[in-house]
């Protein structure tokens, strides 16, 4: 069998991870089999094992890719981009699709007995926390963050908001304008009054 290039191997691995994610969204963790993944990725069982030695490795890869996507979406450098990110996240696929939310709950349950998966989820959460802390440090340098609030406290508050937003998706739908009001209420506890006024003026239609 001829050697495969690193680019080919990366593309195949990404294809498998995409197939796993789709199967999990469609069937859930308990009902997704290796055969389902192979059929969705259009590969053999042997090809699957070239890239992943176990179901645990596959689940960890799904978590890692989701974390990379979140790192792109959940980036902010100032108050304006923070507000825009919070508004945008409300309509992102992970926040809308109930199946994706159920998959996340299943991952957390599976992590109880899977140390590797538990570590992958912990890395994802820690990366998000550091991303939020880094963003708050940028706001601090710009003089936008409240003086009586530490960067760490601001980052934790933002993390709580994300967790609460996810849990709310299991209930009745929340209107976009209500989410916007909640975002502004959150920012009211993080930003200086003059920064809030500037944001309000910028977001008010002319």
In three state form, how does the secondary structure of 24-50 look?
HHHHCCCCCCHHHHHHHHCCCHHHHHH
- What's the CA gap between 35 and 39, in Å, rounded? 6
Per-residue pLDDT, averaged over 126-141, amounts to 96
- Span(s) in the chain for CATH 1.10.357.10: 56-203
Does the pLDDT at position 175 exceed 70? yes
Give residues with Cβ within 8 angstroms of 38, minimum separation 6. 44, 45, 47, 48
User: What are the DSSP calls for 149-179, one per residue?
Assistant: S-HHHHHHHHHHHHHHHHHHTTSS---HHHH
Does the pLDDT at position 172 exceed 70? no
CB atoms within 10 A of CB 80: 15
- Span(s) in the chain for CATH 1.10.10.60: 1-53
Per-residue pLDDT, averaged over 193-197, amounts to 93
CB atoms within 10 A of CB 198: 15
- What's the CA gap between 147 and 166, in Å, rounded? 29
| pLDDT tens digits along 30-60 | 899 999 999 999 999 999 999 999 989 999 9
- What's the CA gap between 80 and 85, in Å, rounded? 9
If you classify domain 1-53 with CATH, what class do you get? Answer: mainly alpha
The dotted CATH code for 56-203 is 1.10.357.10
Does the pLDDT at position 1 exceed 50? no
């Amino acid at each position: 069998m001829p050697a495969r290039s690193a680019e080919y191997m990366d593309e195949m691995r990404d294809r498998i991870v995409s197939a796993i994610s789709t199967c999990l969204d469609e069937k859930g963790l308990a009902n997704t089999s290796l055969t389902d993944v192979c059929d969705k990725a259009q590969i053999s069982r042997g090809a699957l094992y070239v890239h992943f030695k176990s179901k645990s490795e596959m689940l960890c890869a799904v978590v890692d890719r989701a974390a990379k996507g979140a790192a792109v979406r959940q980036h902010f450098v100032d108050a304006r981009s923070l507000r825009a990110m919070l508004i945008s996240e409300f309509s992102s696929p992970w926040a809308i699709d109930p199946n994706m939310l159920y998959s996340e709950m299943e991952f957390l349950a599976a992590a109880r007995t899977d140390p590797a998966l538990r570590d992958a989820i912990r890395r994802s959460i820690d990366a998000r926390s550091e991303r939020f802390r880094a963003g708050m440090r940028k706001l601090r340098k710009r003089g936008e963050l409240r003086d009586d609030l530490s960067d760490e406290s601001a980052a934790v508050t933002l993390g709580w908001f994300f967790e609460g937003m996810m849990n709310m998706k299991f209930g009745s739908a929340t209107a976009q304008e209500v989410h916007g009001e909640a975002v502004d209420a959150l920012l009211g506890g993080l930003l200086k009054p003059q920064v809030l006024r500037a944001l309000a003026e910028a977001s008010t239609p002319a």
